[in-house]
Structure 1
Amino acid sequence: GGSKAPAGGFAALDDGEWQRALDLNLMPAVRLDRALLPGMLERGAGVVVHVGSIQGRLPLPEATTAYAAAKAALATYSKALAKEVGPKGVRVVRVAPGWVQTEAATALVERLAARDGTDVEAARQQLMASLGGIPIGRPAWPEEVAELVAFLASDRAASIHGSEHVIDGGTVPVV
């Protein structure tokens, strides 16, 4: 998934940007499910983990409208799939990360620092503030997201189904 849409809100998004957002953030899950679910259903067991985003709940209208809409579509698709395949032994769960400190995120912070003539930490703090703040004071690490996915896919999470699991450092309080 991801987004490279132009800033400027909805008016900056042409049909191509909308289609790219869906192609990157919804359709890969649909296509993988189409390929993998038949085997799970045949066995009567399996786990589908979709990776959404807090943007589905909290879009940034100047920069992520199409991305957020595609992630919201993934959320709705996940709910429908959970209702359909849960009774047949296949669990469906969704992980919704906030800002994750990936290589791409690091590069973005470095570009912002260079553009604004500031240091990387100041740019990082500014980006966190633009997201509404991250109460724990830092983005998630990719390993943390991976560990959550691994847990949800494991037998230790056998009774977790049809649910979303936010991992965003408290950006979108859901408790």
Structure 2
Amino acid sequence: MFRTLPTPDPSEFAGKRVVVTGGSRGIGAAVVQRFLDGGATVVTTARTATDTTPAGAAFIPGDLSSADGVHAFASAALQHLGGVDVVVNNAGAARTHLGGIGTIPDDEWTDALDLNYLSAVRLNNALLPAVREAGAGSVIINISSGSAVLPAGPLAHYGAAKAALNAYGKALASELAPAGIRVTTVMPGNVLTPGADAIRQDFADAMGVDLAATTAAVPLGRPGDPRDIAEAVAYLASDRAQWVTGTTLTVDGGELPTF
């Protein structure tokens, strides 16, 4: 069971201007709320808001699966914030193909790359002048997935896109380090979110097991809560991690293999 966390310091991110993609529900919503609890001003986006979208954030509807959609959101976010100190690229989704890799249509490979990888590349590029202007201490955090290192055939397109995101994050970190801008990646394991639950249900149905069985192997005894990931993001965005860049932080309850 998820244990209650200490109350965040409401001044931890005071004055920080934060952009979070995919913030309408699940991990993204938890990340948005964590920054709000720390005193940040937050802009977030998704195709539509939900009843779990944090009310304290400015929500800008958008579709980040295209270059035009990314640029439109970036422009609106900068207009609202006047600058940006922290960027969290969380937008992502995939459709399960239980028939295996050969049944994934070409257009879904492209779609997976556009949303799960290129949306981050495009948004970072669009916001980078503002991030540079904010100066040393600015942070970019990309949200990847355990599928990047332990991909399953039915989600190979998603895993490939997230693996690309991991590699890109490392390269960007090296490039931006001389400016004091840190770039890190968070790689969640089995976290309870609406999107991930739908995918796990597909696998459970195919295997003839109940949904709980798909997370039973987590060594710490429970699946992840979105707040587990939000806390990792908060650490990486904070001055406590001022000497951390170019790394991929796995937050998985011990389930994924080490390499």
Q: TM-score w.r.t. structure 2 length?
A: 0.59
Deviations 1:12-31 (Å, cap 9, x if unpaired)? 11210100110121011112
1:83 aligns with 2:171: no
Q: Report the counterpart of residue 172 of structure 1 in structure 2.
A: 256
1:128 aligns with 2:199: no
User: Once structures 1 and 2 are overlaid, which stretch shifts more, 137-146 or 65-74?
Assistant: 137-146
**Structure 2 alignment gaps of length 5 or more:** 1-91
| Code of the aligned partner of 1:134 | V
Deviations 1:24-60 (Å, cap 9, x if unpaired)? 2101111220122112223432100000111111101
| Code of the aligned partner of 2:151 | P
Secondary structure, aligned partner of 2:141 = strand
1:19 aligns with 2:110: yes
Deviation at 1:123, TM superposition (A): 2.5
Deviations 1:69-114 (Å, cap 9, x if unpaired)? 0001001111110111111111000000011101334455667778
Quote the Cα distance in structure 1 between the aligned partners of 2:204 and 2:169: 37
1:60 aligns with 2:152: yes
Secondary structure, aligned partner of 2:220 = coil
Deviation at 1:174, TM superposition (A): 3.2
Larger RCO of the pair (alpha carbons < 8 Å, separation 6+): 1
Q: TM-score w.r.t. structure 1 length?
A: 0.85
Whether the 8 Å CA contact 1:109–1:124 is kept in 2: the answer is: no
| Code of the aligned partner of 2:150 | L
Residues 17 and 113 of structure 1, relative CA distance in 2, 3 Å threshold: closer
**Pairwise mapping of residues 8-157 of structure 1 onto structure 2 (< 5 A)?**
8-45=99-136, 46-61=138-153, 63-107=154-198, 122-125=210-213, 127-128=214-215, 133-157=217-241
**Structure 1 alignment gaps of length 5 or more:** none
Quote the Cα distance in structure 2 between the aligned partners of 1:92 and 1:108: 29
Deviation at 1:68, TM superposition (A): 0.5
Quote the Cα distance in structure 1 between the aligned partners of 2:110 and 2:174: 27
| Code of the aligned partner of 2:221 | G
Query: How big is the alpha-carbon RMSD for the aligned residues of Structure 1 and Structure 2?
Result: 2.3
Quote the Cα distance in structure 1 between the aligned partners of 2:184 and 2:244: 7
Residues 117 and 73 of structure 1, relative CA distance in 2, 3 Å threshold: closer
Quote the Cα distance in structure 2 between the aligned partners of 1:109 and 1:5: 9
Deviations 1:136-165 (Å, cap 9, x if unpaired)? 122110011011101100111111111010
Deviations 1:112-132 (Å, cap 9, x if unpaired)? 7788887xxx4211x226xxx
- 4+ residue runs of structure 1 moved beyond 6 angstroms? 110-118
| Code of the aligned partner of 1:23 | D
Quote the Cα distance in structure 1 between the aligned partners of 2:156 and 2:201: 24
Whether the 8 Å CA contact 1:101–1:140 is kept in 2: the answer is: yes
